[in-house]
Structure 1
């Protein structure tokens, strides 16, 4: 998979696709497949990976609703800046609040005691509080969060799709039951779900997702039906694109 030499049964039709082993295919709920029948401690070593940030946000909120503890919501304070001050008035606050660019917490941050979160910026490298560190929520206060490390102020993202700079004052964390494939690099989990509503879109992305698990038997893959020649189900075969630029290997 990593070097692009793994061929699919559909190689003649689409040479850049691979078959997902039947033992890894999830036909039901991926969340249940990954997180059901496990203890709170075991949940810390399980994750669902997906190519896009928006998909991870939705999965995280669904899993949070399953926790029995009380929900606490933190709302951010947002503003925007543009080259032209008058242009900044064109963006309603409801629209600004609805944005969650990559690397930023949501405007409406829902948390529960016992939830797994990820730090989104470097707070103290010497103490292991770095961008990407996963933590478990211990206590939730009005103006602070107490959490313990599991693993490895204002935020201003750079997003080419947003024509202004978004200033967001919010706790620099987000839920981490699900994360993007790119964010999961260098981490290893006991059980990994791979959610693919659409195919992976960058070099080696699918390989990175599969390699986050310790063994093939601990991987579950959910592929959406798109009736796409590179990403779908055909009979008992599930397949998806595996983008590898062999010229860079």
Structure 2
């Protein structure tokens, strides 16, 4: 093999080499093009952050803006500005789906080695002299998208680890690195099993000791209103719809309230007088259900979904629509066992095979997985994030074997790519069970419908919001409403316990989380 000729590249550190290995000339051209498209707000934020990077003076920023204000566009421009200069910019996000929108994006947990259950005493799994530690020493900019979704302990763990790696004696946050967080506190906050309102608010980023060091930069202009082809009436409609969604997200509808209030849904979005609610919401989103098997284009399922508050509602709809899908059905059964590391439960006769097979947990595929060719599915585990296969990626089944599945990607920038999905060994990361179970199964679930939390950061043209029970946590209704790209694609069906359609639903907003966002 010929010896490398790249002079000046540290070939001993694979991670640093990978982060510097971007086409600098092409990035500079794109950067110059993107700079010209920025709004005044975006340019002011860009200038402040890039100045901090080039002066190497550190600083922590939070870019606060609702969907459509151009946060992802800003991340692309900032990354290009740093990388074409030969510096290192690390892009991470709180979820796998969000990381796919970033160039070179990874989940924060995988990039920084953050523990699954962080607390006040844990640190990131980074050895002081490892390649990762040395790359972080050279890093000029860290961008962390969708930050409000994660517990404050994740950020505090990274702060302690970077301070340790950088041997920080000035007590600067994150070891003196320039760190940019982004997101929207109107969306779903950290999910904590069994937690109440106070615990969730206290787990948010702006309840951390780091918040006093963070400068909030706000984006307020809706980029969808800036299209040159937009008529005046269409612009008014978009602005009115956007303002209503923001009012829902901030709990300003049906005020005064303490954050929980019944709100009226405009009639233009409602599905009323339905004898069969599931049939009605399914037809509103997917059209003629008898023709589902002919929907061959990946973009058909990519652009639409039914959203529900709970997994039980999602499973009911998915099973019903799978029956409507024509074609041969295959049933895949899992192999369940007690984790060998759980020595106390390993030989317990109570944990029979039938009992283990009956367990259903969030994030764990069912013991009995029913599939058909043409069915949309969702990945439940990160398999290959670089190839776009991460938790939340949606695919369409194209072929079914006994031990492997072929599927076509229908989300992200790899739409239409064929991938092979194997069975994997899955252990639930967070469970209240008094024992540790492991399950070998395809890491998939049917995805005609999905929970509201799973839909976060995705954009859809057709959204059916099915509410057989009210939302129960901060930001869920706001997230569901803001997934749709235009109001003509939104349909809402609210039903009571008797199955009768309703015109109002509960909105839950923890208003305390907004108190210190204006600094």
Greater Rg by CA: 2
- Call closer, same or farther: CA 1:20–1:74 in 2, change over 3 Å: same
The equivalent residue for 2:470 is 199
Task: Give the equivalent residue in structure 1 for 2:235.
Answer: none
Instruction: Give 1:148 deviation, angstroms.
Output: 1.2
108-117 vs 237-246, which moves further: 237-246
Whether the aligned pair in 1 keeps the contact of 2:338 and 2:345 (CA below 8 Å) is no
**Are residue 247 (structure 1) and residue 512 (structure 2) matched?**
yes
Runs of 4+ in 1 over 6 A off after TM superposition: none
Deviations 1:124-156 (A, max 9, x none): 111111111111111100110001111141111
- Judging changes above 3 Å, is the alpha-carbon distance between structure 1 residues 75 and 86 closer, same or farther for their aligned structure 2 residues? closer
Unaligned runs of 5+ in 1: none
Pick one of 279, 284, 287 that aligns with 1:36. Answer: 287
Whole-Å separation in 2 of the counterparts to 1:196 and 1:111:
26
* Structure number having the greater helix percentage: 2
Contact 1:158/1:165 (8 A) holds in 2: no
Deviates more, 1:154-163 or 1:215-224: 154-163
- Consecutive unaligned residues of structure 2, counting only runs of 5 or more, are 1-247, 275-279, 413-423, 515-519
Would you say 1:127 and 2:392 are equivalent positions? no
1:87: Cα distance to partner? Answer: 7.5
Larger deviation, residues 36-45 vs 145-154? 36-45
Q: Among 486, 492, 499, which residue is 1:215 paired with?
A: 486
More strand by share: 1
Alignment partner for residue 460 of structure 2, among 171, 181, 189?
189
Output the CA distance in 2 between the equivalents of 1:164 and 1:54.
23
Equivalent-residue separation in structure 1 for 2:440 and 2:490 (angstroms): 37
Change (3 A) 1:244 1:143: same
How many residue pairs are counted as aligned between the two chains?
A: 239
Matched with 1:5 is: 252
Cα distance change, pair 213–78 in 1 and its aligned pair in 2 (3 A): same
* 2:377–2:448 Cα contact (<8 Å) kept: yes
Question: If the length of structure 2 is used for normalisation, what is the TM-score?
Answer: 0.43
2:378 aligned partner? 118
- TM-score w.r.t. length of structure 1: 0.87
Equivalence for 2:435? 164
Q: Deviations over 1:31-62 (max 9, x none)?
A: 12211237613233211111111211121111
Residue 175 of structure 1, CA deviation: 0.8
What secondary structure is seen at the aligned counterpart in 2 of 1:84? helix
- Flag the structure with more relative contact order, 1 or 2, with Cα contacts below 8 A and sequence separation at least 6: 1
Q: What residue is the counterpart of 2:269 in the other structure?
A: 24
Q: SS of 2:458's equivalent?
A: coil
* Cα pair 1:7 1:15 within 8 Å, conserved: no
Please state if 1:99 is matched with 2:364: no
